[in-house]
């Protein structure tokens, strides 16, 4: 029994990281209908900014986290400005291919700058281990869970309760109409990218802290899995991304615990196939007929 609970705790910690990355995916998709495949690499860039902020300048963890988030937002906005904006009126497939190109660019740029070797992440929060009746919980797991829930609430607040959030929703519904009503689409979309990238960076720093290993290709797998999480919860829906992330994390851990750790990575993609067949709009999504 303790083992199952322990595995669920492991799953929730992993899931909260997927959730953080999935939030960014879902937001960009919600507004631009673009699956930003470079998102997983922004996550990696964030982890590296955090690595240098915490390791080289010895900043406290919270400050390092904020710097990584700001740095990644800037990177996200630059990518949007130079890679995606010129293609805004192009067919959606061009945008998708560009996103894949940006992803490779970021990975290889990072290999060029820091090398391909894995690095151990600065341990700026020492591990505290709590043993509750044989159940092991670390302070880092709690921190990861709290930060991701906090960021999700903040995001939901920004999108639902603020003026810029209202503009974001307007742009997502109808770009031309929003433009006619005097909304500056460019800056709204740039803001969306900044916000999504900041969340990915937070995920990157937390992953670095939790797994103690970062490298230029670290974003590939989590990026794909977070995409699955976003689709699972209903792409474009913020609480859905969170839900999808947790379900995916727990499913993955339970499969490696009770079936086999070899098929672990397959689980995410089996889930993706099932959800696309059975409920393409995701768990929280409403089925919408395309207007012709």
Partner 1 sequence: MKRLAKLFLISVVSIFLLVLPLQAAGTIKIGAIFPITGPLATFGTSCANGAKMAIEEVNLRGGVLGSKIELLVEDDQYKPEEAANAAKKLIERDKVVALIAEVTSSVTLVVAPIAQQSKIVLLTPTATNPKVTQVGDYIFRACFIDDFQGEVMANFVYKNLKLKTAAILTAVTSDYSKGLAQFFKQKYTALGGKIVAEESYSEGDSDFRAQLTKIKAAKPEFVYVPGYYADVGPILLQARELGITVPFGGGDGWDSPVLLQTAGKAAEGCFFSNHYSPDSKELVVQTFVKNYQKKYGTTPDALAALAYDAAKLLVDAINRAGSTDSSKIRDALAATKGFRGVTGVITFDANRNPIKSAVIIEIKGGKQVYRATVKP
Which one of 109, 136, 150, 273 is in contact with partner 1 (CB under 8 A)? 136
Which one of 55, 61, 96, 138 is in contact with partner 1 (CB under 8 A)? 138
264 binds partner 1 (CB under 8 A): yes
Return the structure tokens found at 266: 């397959």
Query: Rule CB under 8 A: which of 29-88 touch partner 1?
Result: none
Rounded CA gap, 131 and 139, in Å?
A: 11
115 binds partner 1 (CB under 8 A): yes
Which one of 27, 151, 195, 207 is in contact with partner 1 (CB under 8 A)? 207
Instruction: Give the nearer residue to partner 1 in terms of CB position, either 11 or 64.
Output: 11
Which one of 94, 162, 184, 261 is in contact with partner 1 (CB under 8 A)? 261
Burial (Cβ within 10 Å: 0-12, 13-18, ≥19) of residue 218: buried
Cα–Cα distance list, 106 to 84, 114, 134, 191 (Å): 15, 12, 43, 20
Bridge partners for 131 per DSSP:
136
Rounded CA gap, 241 and 261, in Å?
A: 25
148 binds partner 1 (CB under 8 A): no
Rounded CA gap, 42 and 109, in Å?
A: 12
What angle do helix axes 238-258 and 220-233 make, rounded to 10 degrees? 120
In the complex, minimum distance from the CB of residue 207 to partner 1, in angstroms, rounded to a whole number = 7
DSSP H stretches of helix in the chain: 2-32, 39-55, 61-79, 92-114, 139-161, 163-173, 175-180, 185-211, 220-233, 238-258, 264-278
Which one of 52, 105, 158, 212 is in contact with partner 1 (CB under 8 A)? 212
Which one of 156, 211, 283, 284 is in contact with partner 1 (CB under 8 A)? 211
Task: Count Cβ atoms below 10 Å from residue 141 Cβ, excluding itself.
Answer: 19
Q: What is the dihedral of CA 140, 142, 19, 205, to 10 degrees?
A: -30
108 binds partner 1 (CB under 8 A): no
In the complex, minimum distance from the CB of residue 142 to partner 1, in angstroms, rounded to a whole number = 13
Which one of 56, 91, 113, 129 is in contact with partner 1 (CB under 8 A)? 129
112 binds partner 1 (CB under 8 A): no
In the complex, minimum distance from the CB of residue 261 to partner 1, in angstroms, rounded to a whole number = 5
Please name the residue that has the structure tokens 């955090």: 50
Task: Count Cβ atoms below 10 Å from residue 264 Cβ, excluding itself.
Answer: 15
In the complex, minimum distance from the CB of residue 7 to partner 1, in angstroms, rounded to a whole number = 6
Instruction: Give the nearer residue to partner 1 in terms of CB position, either 101 or 118.
Output: 118
131 binds partner 1 (CB under 8 A): yes
Applying CB under 8 A, which residues contact partner 1?
A: 3, 6-7, 10-11, 13-14, 111, 115-118, 120, 127, 129, 131, 136, 138, 207, 211-213, 215, 217-218, 252-254, 256-257, 260-262, 264-265
């Amino acid at each position: 029994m303790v083992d199952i609970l322990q595995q669920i705790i492991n799953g929730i910690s992993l899931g909260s990281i997927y959730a953080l990355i999935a939030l960014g995916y879902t937001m960009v998709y919600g507004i631009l209908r673009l699956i930003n495949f470079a998102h997983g690499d922004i996550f990696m860039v964030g982890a590296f900014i955090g690595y240098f902020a915490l390791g080289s300048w010895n900043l406290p963890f919270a400050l390092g986290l904020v710097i990584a988030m700001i740095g990644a937002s800037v990177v996200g906005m630059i990518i949007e400005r130079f890679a995606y904006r010129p293609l805004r009126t192009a067919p959606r497939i061009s945008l998708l291919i560009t996103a894949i190109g940006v992803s490779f660019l970021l990975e290889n740029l990072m290999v060029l700058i820091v090398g391909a070797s894995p690095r151990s992440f600065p341990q700026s929060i020492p591990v505290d281990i709590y043993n509750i009746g044989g159940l092991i919980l670390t302070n880092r797991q709690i921190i990861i869970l709290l930060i991701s829930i906090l960021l999700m609430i903040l995001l939901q607040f920004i999108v639902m309760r603020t003026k810029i959030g209202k503009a974001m929703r307007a742009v997502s519904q109808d770009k031309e109409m929003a433009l006619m009503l005097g909304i500056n689409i460019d800056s709204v979309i740039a803001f969306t990218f900044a916000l999504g990238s900041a969340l990915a960076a937070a995920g990157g720093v937390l992953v670095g802290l939790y797994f103690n290993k970062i490298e230029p290709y670290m974003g590939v797998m989590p990026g794909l899995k977070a995409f699955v999480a976003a689709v699972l919860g209903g792409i474009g829906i913020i609480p859905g991304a969170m839900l999808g992330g947790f379900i995916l994390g727990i499913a993955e851990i339970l499969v490696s615990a009770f079936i086999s750790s070899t098929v672990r990575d397959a689980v995410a993609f089996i889930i993706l196939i099932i959800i696309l067949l059975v409920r393409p709009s995701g768990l929280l999504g409403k089925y919408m007929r395309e207007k012709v």
